[in-house]
Amino acid sequence: MLRRDFLEFVRCTALAAAIPNDWRVRFRPRFVDDPFGLGVASGDPTSNSVILWTRLAPRPLDPDGGVGGTRPVVSWELAADEGFGSILQRGRATAAPELGHSIHVDVQGLDPNRWYFYRFMSGDAVSAIGRTRTAPPDGATQPLRLGVASCQHYEQGLFTAYRHMAVEELDMIAHLGDYIYEYGPAEGQVRRHSAAEILGLPDYRVRYAQYKSDEHLRAAHQRCPWIVTWDDHEVDNNYAGLIGENRMESEEQMRARRAAAYQAWWENQPVRVPRVRSWSDLTIRRGFKWGELAHIWVLDTRQYRSDQACDDGNREVPCAEWSDPSRTMMGNAQEGWLTAGLAANRASWQVLAQQVMVAPYDGLEGPKQRVSMDQWSGYPVARDRLLRTIGQSAPNRTVVLTGDIHSNWVNELRSSFSRSGAPTVAAEFVGTSISSGGDGVDRYPTVNDRAMAENPHLKWQNARRGYMTCTVTPEEWLTAYRTVPFVSRPDAPISTATTWRLERGRPGILAV
């Protein structure tokens, strides 16, 4: 191609993208404002490595983040101390417009079971300081303090819960999805809504920037490494594989939307996932080792699932294709990976970090059953396969952590929910939202004594906002439900609504 033609090609491409392209790397970039306003984060720790993340966006709500098509050089430092007197590693990376000017540094060669500090620099700008840590070495049984969060609708409430989470002295935070919401103006708005339903990559990028403008969210990211999975709202409410919420989208439309949404998710999260051939097929299932104490299996129950049965919603069962054994929640590859992994793993506790409730909740009195088609209850054969695997490979040392439904639930999981009298083999702790749903209530009016009797595996339920903290030792697991009384105004206090206890190897969940 002639140089003149090439320049014309670049100009046209740039015009099409509405971002002037500049392929030169800028060693001394100048920014219109602080480029580190979205904060810093770390994640996916192993015993010797961790991902450090930032994204340059001096004008966070502009589609190009205010960096245009330029390629600023970003340097990073990792230190033993918060004053950066003892810098252990440093390096440089280039922020590229086609990846939203995001930076993911996979720092290697770290010591196990140790805290570190990190920061980024670009031009004259210096980021906030983040704190992160590595996992304990193989064979170690040090305790784990794990925080669990999900569902943070920006417009429906303040992220006060994160302010409290940031001072909990947690080793790690697991986020179970609904980190953003894709839809437009909704009921119960507390904060100003930015735009209508988002579909394309620039829109998803701006939505993440809007969420990360929250200082409490940034504070929680700064404090410890996170392990993040997604639920439906990172793409489209209740999507299933390549079927959209309103079931009118073509497969090509859903591929394009997933590609935009999955790429924006990667750009905005401190994650280590396999490099992709197509952003529409991003594999995010992965496992984390905490010495010999715990193995955390991070699952994706959205990308590969069969369409919800019987037109979605809450349905009386059995109905139509509901119990078809070919229907899947995790897809064959992920299900095989988890089944083999649970059979082979020797860690004291097996932890499933995933999205939708495993236990059934029967909302009908008497022998008839009505359950949610979007949860594992909508995939009863796949659920029984999962529970049988747990019963065979890791009975009563498996804990399922769940998000999605903006409420707290403590469930004993049986080896099957299709036949009565099956033994308890696991515990499920469903964590409430950070803000989705607004202020919340102590208990849904429908979850009364009759409903508790109808669902004997259900130990407790509450619909306040907040998060869970899990304190794990080889023989005991404690889950505290931390709740705030309101999210519609600032400065809500935090308190423990209730704490639940597991003894490894013993069936059942005990009140503390």
Interface positions with Fe ion (CB under 5 A): 151, 178, 436
Q: Give residue 478's identity as a one-letter amino acid code.
A: L
Which C-beta is closer to Fe ion: that of 148 or that of 151?
151
Which C-beta is closer to Fe ion: that of 302 or that of 327?
302
Which C-beta is closer to Fe ion: that of 348 or that of 436?
436
Closest alpha carbon to 308 in 231, 229, 380:
380
Which C-beta is closer to Fe ion: that of 339 or that of 436?
436
Helix/strand/coil for 173: strand
CB of 509 to Fe ion, least distance (A): 24
* Secondary structure in 3-state letters for 213-228: CCHHHHHHHHHCCEEE
Q: Return the number of other C-beta atoms located less than 10 Å from residue 493's C-beta.
A: 10
Whether the Cβ atoms of residue 502 and residue 475 lie closer than 8 Å to each other: no
Which C-beta is closer to Fe ion: that of 101 or that of 233?
233
What kind and span of H or E run contains 229? none
Whether omega before 318 lies within 30 degrees of 0, making that bond cis, reads yes
Cβ-count burial 275-286 (b if 16+ within 10 Å, e if not): eeeebbebebbb
Pairing of strands 369-372, 125-126: unpaired
Q: Give me the residue label for tokens 């339920």.
A: 461
CB of 404 to Fe ion, least distance (A): 6
Which C-beta is closer to Fe ion: that of 298 or that of 347?
298
CB of 151 to Fe ion, least distance (A): 3
CB of 231 to Fe ion, least distance (A): 6
CB of 177 to Fe ion, least distance (A): 7
Contacts of 172 (CB under 8 A, 6+ apart): 45, 133, 144, 145, 146, 147, 224, 225, 226, 227
Whether the Cβ atoms of residue 170 and residue 146 lie closer than 8 Å to each other: yes
Which C-beta is closer to Fe ion: that of 179 or that of 322?
179
CB of 436 to Fe ion, least distance (A): 5
CB of 482 to Fe ion, least distance (A): 18
Which C-beta is closer to Fe ion: that of 407 or that of 436?
436
Environment class of residue 65 by beta-carbon count within 10 Å: exposed (0-12), middle (13-18) or buried (19+)?
A: buried
Distances (CA, A) of 142 to 35, 128, 148, 307: 38, 29, 19, 42
Pairing of strands 408-414, 144-149: unpaired
CB of 405 to Fe ion, least distance (A): 7
